[in-house]
A and B are shown apart, each in its own frame.
Chain A
Amino acid sequence: EVQLVESGGDLLQPGRSLRLSCAASGFTFDDYAMHWVRQAPGKGLEWVAGVDWNGGKIGFADSVKGRFTISRDNAKNCLFLQMNSLRAEDSALYYCAKARTLDAATPYDSWGQGTLVTVSS
């Protein structure tokens, strides 16, 4: 069974940094692209960032470009999101999602339960 468990969410002030992690199990991690998707309270889904199976292709939403980085450790079956210069509008539940294939341009067939990030002074 595929399991994705996010961690690292916190309450912090604007301008601070935070690193989210996603521990994956139940599948061959380095056979699939991975993504981060966020959802502000009561709002819709927003794709944040994605990485293909070996990190060769990486992409970001315009809203986070230059502030967030995505990485993966295939040896440890983990996905990461480094978030710098956080803003109030980054407050959301952050989901880790598994793509259907190794190509990042495929939909997401498994999702974690999310980790909550709140940015407030």
Chain B
Amino acid sequence: EIVMTQSPATLSVSPGERATLSCRASQSVSSNLAWYQQKPGQAPRLLIYGASTRATGVPARFSGSGSGTEFTLTISSLQSEDFAVYYCQQYNNWPSGFGQGTRLEIK
């Protein structure tokens, strides 16, 4: 089973600043990596798939990069609506797996 590890667990950033979230896989998942955003009381929302492709309707301030075992989600200029929990997910192999999440909070 591939283990996904996200860091940091919590990230405090001021609005307008850049946020960088990391995700590491215990073995290569190629580019089969997705990022999701979850706000309190809501279902997750797909942001990025294929490591770097934005899903429909996702603002351009969200970008993903990486391949193999190391991945990054960058939010270039944080808006108030971006403060949420972010999860990475590998779908290269079954069982699919999510990271434990990074909580992005307002500084």
Are A60 and B95 in contact (CB-based, < 8 A)? yes
For chain B, which range describes its interface: under 10, 10 to 19, 20 to 34, or 35 or more residues?
Answer: 20 to 34
Q: Is B1 an interface residue (CB 8 A)?
A: yes
Q: Which of B55, B87, B92 contacts A105 (CB 8 A)?
A: B92
Q: How far is the CB of A82 from chain B (nearest CB, A)?
A: 18
The digit string for A3-45, where 1 denotes a CB below 8 A from any CB of B, is: 0000000000000000000000000000000010100000011
Q: Which of B34, B38, B100, B101 contacts A107 (CB 8 A)?
A: B34
Interface window among B16-24, B43-51, B70-78: B43-51
Q: How far is the CB of B10 from chain A (nearest CB, A)?
A: 13
A25→B78 CA distance, assembly (Å): 34
Q: Which of A45, A62, A105, A106 contacts B44 (CB 8 A)?
A: A45
Q: Which of B34, B44, B94 contacts A50 (CB 8 A)?
A: B94
Are B91 and A114 in contact (CB-based, < 8 A)? no
A44→B86 CA distance, assembly (Å): 10
Are A105 and B91 in contact (CB-based, < 8 A)? yes
Are B89 and A107 in contact (CB-based, < 8 A)? yes
Interface size on A, residues (CB 8 A): 23
Given contacts A45-B87, A62-B1, A105-B92, contact A100 B98 (CB under 8 A): no
A-B contact pairs, 29 of them (CB 8 A): A35-B96, A44-B87, A44-B98, A44-B99, A44-B101, A45-B38, A45-B87, A45-B89, A45-B98, A45-B101, A47-B95, A47-B97, A50-B94, A62-B1, A62-B95, A95-B43, A104-B94, A105-B94, A106-B49, A106-B91, A107-B49, A108-B44, A108-B46, A109-B46, A109-B56, A111-B44, A111-B45, A113-B43, A114-B43
User: Which residues of B are at the interface with A, using a C-beta cutoff of 8 A?
Assistant: 1, 32, 34, 36, 38, 43-46, 49, 55-56, 87, 89, 91-101
